[in-house]
Homo-oligomer: A and B are copies of this chain.
Amino acid sequence: MSARPEIRIGMVGYGFIGKVHTLAYQLLPMIYDPAPADIRLVGVSAASEASARKGVEQGGYGFGTTDWRELVERDDIDVINCCTPNFLHKEMLIAAMRAGKHVYCDKPLAMNLAEARDIVAIADETGIRHQMTFEYRFIPAMMRARQLVEEGFLGQVFSFRAAYLHAGYIDPNRPISWRLDVTKGGGGALFDLGAHVLDLVRFLLGEYDSVHALTETFIKERPLPGNPNQRMPVEVDDLVLMTVRMANGAVGTVEASRLATGTNDELRLEIHGQQGALRFNLMDPNWLYVYDAREPGDPIGGNRGFKAIETVQRYPPPAALPGPKFAVGWMRYHIASQYDFITSLVEGRPTSPDFIDGTRIQEVMEAGYTSAREKRWVSLPLE
């Protein structure tokens, strides 16, 4: 009946983020009308058989497996969606790209810069489409912020402060997971949360010139899962405090913390320019706060002040559900990110943000770890 193209998905990984991506695929046809494509959830691979079965029964995939190669090798899959722990990205992404699959990968791209560069080399070679899950770029407030910056609203940018704050690791008895294991996650708060906020800063202000970082691990050992009496040292950072200088001359701070007591999922951004200022907070995602310093601020008669632009659910294109006036929630950004990815594939236009963007962030994070270790400023780009 429908003449819509079909996009066939193979999902690698069915943990929390794999489920989130699956849910987003499921929602596309209801949220966007017309949907950009018919999405077919062909297969899912997971670490365990139980997880793979869950992907079939709950997620609606056609089949499940514990071997991602099965997905990569099939002819009836167009997109490989990567939602595994970080240490599994590289091999899998390269195999998928070599098999001609488009790839959609959760951040960070890789365990380190060298891996990221290897991945991009293959992406270039194969010519497939690749997109990073930097889903916060797809918050209407962030899209509007980018427009404003491009229109020159801020004038010369002086400074900014950016932070991504979680509190989930405050309990010293929270067990080790791959995110706390440097051999599987590659990094700590900087990788997990910092990648997002570093990407948003770059999305709005361009390339990094140099970085200085302090990292700290306050809770130095944690129990093994299922074995509270055996504790393992934690080698990744609980938090990172960065001072950065951008290529455009702006300076700022970038912070990521998993020990920010009192926060839930708080990504904050504030930018001060000669002509204006911007503010955003992910826990207050319905509004972009904008300040126009060119407006008069005279005693009585002036209008200067922060305006809370009601970006709410004002997505482009206007979404069918739930409509532009309703409070936006966290899942929504993932849906918009995938909408953009799928639409790019269908329309044959470049995907964005892509693995080159992912590599730039990988480089900044690597510079951050080097800086913290050697207690010095590190210039970008790295050799």
Contacts and interface: CB of A to CB of B under 8 A. Distances in A.
A318 B297 CA distance: 12
Interface in A203-253: 212, 214, 216, 218, 238-239, 241, 243, 245, 249, 251-253
Copies, count:
4
**Interface of chain A, main secondary structure:** loop
A5 interface: no
B375 A257 contact: no
A275 B274 CA distance: 31
Contacts of A313: 329-330
Contact of A214 (B163, B245, B332): B245
Contact of A316 (B253, B262, B300, B377): B300
**A243, A276, A308, A329: residue with the most chain B Cβ atoms closer than 10 Å:** A329
Nearest to A323: B16
A79 interface: no
Contacts of A35: 58
Contacts of A326: 264-265, 329-331
Contact of A286 (B159, B161, B283): B283
A310 B166 CA distance: 13
Most B Cβ at <10 Å: residue of A58, A303, A314, A327 = A327
A201 interface: no
A140 B300 contact: yes
A19 interface: yes
Interface in A261-286: 261-262, 264-265, 272-277, 279, 282-286
A39 interface: no
Contacts of A58: 29-30, 33, 35
A382 interface: no
A21 to B, nearest CB: 11
Interface string A19-39: 110110011011101010000
Interface in A300-314: 300-314
A156 interface: yes
A212 B197 CA distance: 22
Contacts of A255: 161, 253
A300 B168 CA distance: 18
B325 A166 contact: yes
A364 interface: no
B297 A239 contact: no
Given A257-B272, A318-B299, A23 B19 contact: no
A114 interface: no
A263 to B, nearest CB: 8
A170 B304 CA distance: 14
Interface in A138-180: 140, 143-144, 147, 156, 158-159, 161, 163, 166-168, 170
A323 to B, nearest CB: 7
**Leading 7 A-B pairs by shortest Cβ distance:** A329-B329, A262-B277, A326-B330, A262-B291, A307-B307, A299-B314, A264-B325
Given A23-B30, A212-B243, A261-B274, 15 more contacts: A29-B58, A30-B59, A144-B301, A158-B218, A158-B260, A253-B253, A262-B277, A264-B327, A285-B327, A297-B324, A299-B315, A306-B308, A328-B329, A329-B329, A376-B376
